[in-house]
Amino acid sequence: MKNWILFLGTAVVVFLLALLALNIFDRRNEAKFAYQPKVQLEGIEPRDSVWGENYPRQYQSYMKTKDTTFVSMINTGGTNDMLESNPEFVILWAGYAFSKDYNSPRGHAYAIDDIHQTLRTGAPMQPGDGVMPSTCWTCKSPDVPRLMSEIGVTEFYSSKFSDFGSEIINPIGCADCHNPETMKLTITRPALIEAFEAMGKNIDEASHQEMRSLVCAQCHVEYYFDKKKPDAEGANYLTFPWKDGMDVDNVEKYYDNIQFADWVNPLSKTPMLKAQHPDYEIYSQGV
């Protein structure tokens, strides 16, 4: 009996190892033929569908960000009026654009649609109209680094939101985080690079593991518009408050030092600091 048990156990192990070896062999062969470039990616290619010609699996995965069926206890993948669900936000954000309209965030594929539909942008899309700066486009599209490359970073920040309504049409995608020649993770928004420089660090020395977070931190981060930047006076220059460190205490210290507040709540008369992604809200009487 012991011999039979040993025999059967050995047979099972050999069978499983054979399956593993076959799987490895298949994956190696797949790697040789699955990613044969069909199109040449030149410069900043903002269209995900073009990247999808070369990377169909990744494109299919990206398209899943259109799925709005997800529902949890506190959030949803679809459109949910957060002000209706949390009416206290209207008081907390009084005097701030989020008190007018704030829906639960949807997937990256909806970045352009959602910013067109929100009341926070003031709606006008004729060039030169409205009060919102073009800086508000920064995290919405790979068309942004394309435009920055074409007209200049300061020139982009110095424009109106409505100036680029016909130019920024592709939602967040591949070109926001990947070098088109090497496919390595890359930073395409100057604010993060400049924040590293302010801390005395070189973004080029970041490890691959760090870059996996930093490419997301280009947008999912606390920031403010510096209107007094010495070499960009008058521009709504996107800036990360990281000079003294990335943690909350040092960010608050940074804002205290420059006497900055996002806005003054007209009900409480309190200067307010607000994390720019309200899903992770932080309030402070920082000034």
Residue 62 in this model has a pLDDT that exceeds 80: yes
The CATH code that applies to domain 127-284 is 1.10.1130.10
Q: Which tens digit of pLDDT belongs to each residue from 138-171?
A: 999 999 999 999 999 999 999 999 999 889 999 9
Mean pLDDT of 24-46: 78
In sequence order, the β-bridge partners of residue 265 are 270
What stretch of H or E contains 20?
helix 2-33
| Residue 52 CA, distance from chain mean position | 20
Q: Which tens digit of pLDDT belongs to each residue from 173-200?
A: 999 999 998 899 999 999 999 999 999 9
With left for phi above 0 and alpha for psi between -120 and 50, is residue 102 left, alpha or beta?
beta
Identify the pLDDT of residue 79.
Answer: 82
Model confidence at 72, pLDDT cuts 50, 70, 90, reads confident
Identify the pLDDT of residue 110.
Answer: 93
Model confidence at 285, pLDDT cuts 50, 70, 90, reads very low
Model confidence at 88, pLDDT cuts 50, 70, 90, reads very high
With left for phi above 0 and alpha for psi between -120 and 50, is residue 259 left, alpha or beta?
left
Identify the pLDDT of residue 125.
Answer: 63
Identify the pLDDT of residue 78.
Answer: 79
Residue 13 in this model has a pLDDT that exceeds 50: yes
| CA-to-CA dists, residue 95 to 99, 135, 271, 285, angstroms | 7, 20, 11, 15
Q: Which tens digit of pLDDT belongs to each residue from 90-125?
A: 999 999 989 999 988 889 999 999 988 888 887 656
Q: Which residue has the higher pLDDT, 75 or 197?
A: 197
Identify the pLDDT of residue 197.
Answer: 96
Domain residue extents for the chain:
127-284
Residue 31 in this model has a pLDDT that exceeds 50: yes
Residue 280 in this model has a pLDDT that exceeds 50: no
Q: Which tens digit of pLDDT belongs to each residue from 208-261?
A: 999 999 999 999 999 999 998 888 888 999 999 999 999 989 998 999 999 998
- CA distance linking residue 156 with residue 237, whole number of Å: 9
Residue 279 in this model has a pLDDT that exceeds 70: no
- CA distance linking residue 260 with residue 265, whole number of Å: 14
**The tokens of 210 are what?**
């760090």
